[in-house]
Amino acid sequence: DSGVTQTPKHLITATGQRVTLRCSPRSGDLSVYWYQQSLDQGLQFLIQYYNGEERAKGNILERFSAQQFPDLHSELNLSSLELGDSALYFCASSLGQGKAGNTIYFGEGSWLTVV
């Protein structure tokens, strides 16, 4: 158990709908990351927040948005869903400072199926 908690574990939704994925980082970690994993793309970095502020952005679609709240939990919002958005979405966290803060720990993921 990495200490990173993600909900829900599984969800099935229809095209055009909107879903929210939730993540609680490890205790003490200030950085939260979102990654997408699909069979043909591997693990793709979406976005990073550090202590509530956006720190880095990857290949995140405009239909997707995220935020990190004052209690450090994070949410990833996916809207106007398409079949191709079906994937495993991982949240990860790290301390975010110095070498000790460089290690990123992953949650168990949220399986999203768009039908």
Partner 1 sequence: EDQVTQSPEALRLQEGESSSLNCSYTVSGLRGLFWYRQDPGKGPEFLFTLYSAGEEKEKERLKATLTKKESFLHITAPKPEDSATYLCAVRGVEAAGNKLTFGGGTRVLVKP
Residue numbers of the site for partner 1 (CB under 8 A)?
2, 4, 31, 33, 42-43, 45, 48, 50, 55-58, 88, 90, 92, 94, 96, 99, 101-109, 111
Q: Which C-beta is closer to partner 1: that of 43 or that of 115?
A: 43
Query: CB 97 → partner 1: shortest distance, Å?
Result: 10
Q: Which C-beta is closer to partner 1: that of 17 or that of 43?
A: 43
Query: CB 89 → partner 1: shortest distance, Å?
Result: 11
15-20: list long-range contacts, CB under 8 Å, 24+ apart. 15/81, 15/82, 15/83, 15/114, 15/115, 16/80, 16/81, 17/81, 17/114, 18/77, 18/78, 18/79, 18/80, 18/81, 19/77, 19/78, 19/81, 19/112, 20/75, 20/76, 20/77, 20/78
Q: Which C-beta is closer to partner 1: that of 37 or that of 79?
A: 37
Query: CB 108 → partner 1: shortest distance, Å?
Result: 5
